[in-house]
Amino acid sequence: MRLLLIDNESSLLEKLENILPKNTIVEKWDALPAHYVGDEFDCVILSGSKNFSAVWNVNDFANEIHMIQTTTTPLIGICFGCELITVAYGGTLTRLEHKTQGIKEIHIQNINTQKISSVRVYEGHHWVINRIPPNFEVLATSSDGPEIIKHTLHPIYGLQFHPENFVEETEGDDIFLKILSSLAS
């Protein structure tokens, strides 16, 4: 599986690389060509960011947003990456009064069985999804709102949490790797 990891200046990049296959290609967000679509990869992963807001930096991330909107390659956005997907497809975000940081419980809805299970994930963000974009569904929630979103027509997922952090204490990496595996098959 050929993976492209777009580094949006994540402070957790090394941890993310540790849970991905070793042949993953890493590109900096600001090195993407203007009309890049990533079609030579099996999946594109958008990292989190320690420096940016998807709301206040839309113009700076125009190339990445264009790629999100035009690629036919499966796509997974993590935290900031999820927020970019939300903005790119017409959803809205709300800034929290206080940053959410730490291990938190989320509730995953199994679409097939209607069963809800709770898992622990690591959160580290200032923004939450206020309104999901058209043609997206919510697969998991927390007290802050949507935690996993999925496009209903295309293989695009957004995870509002960090699956790469505290992998021994949380199940976020398991969820992420299951989604990644489902996109590869």
- For 27-36, write each residue's pLDDT tens digit: 998 887 777 7
Establish whether 79 is a catalytic residue. Answer: yes
Mean pLDDT of the chain: 90
164 is catalytic: yes
Does position 3 have pLDDT exceeding 70, yes or no? yes
Pull the structure tokens for residue 45. 């992963």
pLDDT digits (tens, 9 = 90+) for 80-124: 999 999 999 999 999 998 888 999 999 997 655 556 689 999 998
Domain ranges across the chain: 3-184
Catalytic residue among 64, 83, 123, 162: 162
Per-residue pLDDT averaged across 10-15, rounded?
93
Residue 122, both tokens: 């690591």
Q: Indicate which residue of 43, 64, 79, 147 is catalytic.
A: 79
Catalytic entry in 64, 83, 147, 164:
164
User: CB neighbours of 1 closer than 8 A, spacing ≥ 6?
Assistant: 21, 42, 43, 184
3-184 domain in CATH 3.40.710.10?
A: no
